[in-house]
Amino acid sequence: MDSIFNYYAKWIRNGDLKVSADWNKDLKLKFTLHDPCQTVRKSYGDPIAEEMRYVLKKVVGEENFVEMHPNRSNNYCCGGGGGSLQSGFVSERREYGKLKMEQIQATGATYCVAPCHNCHSQIHDLSEHYKTGVHTVHLWTLICLSLGCLGENERTYLGPELKEVGL
C-alpha cells in the first residue's frame, strides 16, 4: 500500500505528469501546506511530507511556497480528524483548531493546501468561523490547475483570484 502523494511525486519526476507553475508566475499567490496527522504522523512520516512539498512547489512555484512552523511530523493538528467533524462538538472543535488557524495565518499565505479531506473541511470551517480570509484547497486541485484541466465546476470553492485561471 502506498500514498497517492508518492505517486504524484514519482509521476512528476518521471515526466508522466507534466505540471507547470507558470499559471502563478504573475499572480504570485502564496501557499502553505498542512501536514495531516493521519498521513504524516500516524502513517508515512516525514518522507511523505517531503513528497507533498515537492509536488506543491512544482505546481505553485517554489518561491510561492511558505512553510508553517512547526511542520512535518511536528505540525499542529487541525482538530478535524478522528470523527471530530461529525461529533457534534462544534465549538470545542473550533476552539481546538484555533491554534492551527493562527499557525496558518502567521505564514501570510492566501491558500492553505490540505491534502486530507477531513483537514480540508476543518480548516475551511475554521477560516470562515474566525473570518481569516484564508482559502483552503486540495493538492489535486492545484495539480489539475497546473495541467490546465481544472473544469469550471471544480472551481466553486476557490478564491476569486483562482476561479478564472486557465479558462
Instruction: Kindly report the CATH number assigned to the domain that includes residue 24.
Output: 3.40.50
Residue 89 lies in a domain: yes
Q: What pLDDT was estimated at residue 45?
A: 87
Burial of residue 20, with CB atoms counted within 10 A of its CB: 0-12 exposed, 13-18 middle, 19 or more buried: middle
Peptide bond just before 70 cis, omega within 30 deg? yes
Given a cut of 90, whether residue 164 has pLDDT beyond it is: no
Q: What pLDDT was estimated at residue 85?
A: 80
CA angle 78, 81, 84 (to 5 degrees): 100
SS3 label, residue 130: helix
Q: How many domains does the chain have?
A: 1
Residue-number span of the structural domain to which 107 is assigned: 4-154
Residue 86 lies in a domain: yes
Residue 164 lies in a domain: no
Residue 162 lies in a domain: no
- Asked if residues 156 and 166 have their Cβ atoms less than 8 Å apart, the reply is no
pLDDT tens string 81-118: 877 888 888 999 999 999 999 999 999 999 999 988 89
Residue 166 lies in a domain: no
